[in-house]
Copies of this chain bind each other. A is one copy, B any other.
Amino acid sequence: MTVVDIRIELKKGVADPEGSNTKKTLESLGFKGIDSVRTVKVFEIVIDAPAEEAKARAEEMCRRLLANPVIQNYSIVAR
């Protein structure tokens, strides 16, 4: 069993309305010094395979379903 974290984030320059609205709301609550807020999606997948194979399968999952290469980057960590 391997726990794989697939972290999917928006590419630089792609608008992140949820992040910018969260920033505005935090500021309206009085939080200071916030430079930026970005949202990231993580899929935590438990795969019944050793780490190397689980990572390879996760990579294929990203290519075939989970990530949109036009606007998103992904990274995979097995732990």
Contacts and interface: CB of A to CB of B under 8 A. Distances in A.
B34 A46 contact: yes
A47 to B, nearest CB: 6
How many monomers of this protein are in the complex?
A: 2
A46 B19 CA distance: 12
A10 to B, nearest CB: 10
B41 A34 contact: no
Instruction: Place the interface of chain A in its size category.
Output: 20 to 34
Given A26-B61, A35-B47, A38-B44, 15 more contacts: A9-B44, A26-B65, A31-B57, A31-B60, A33-B48, A33-B57, A34-B46, A34-B47, A34-B48, A36-B46, A38-B45, A39-B41, A39-B43, A39-B44, A40-B43
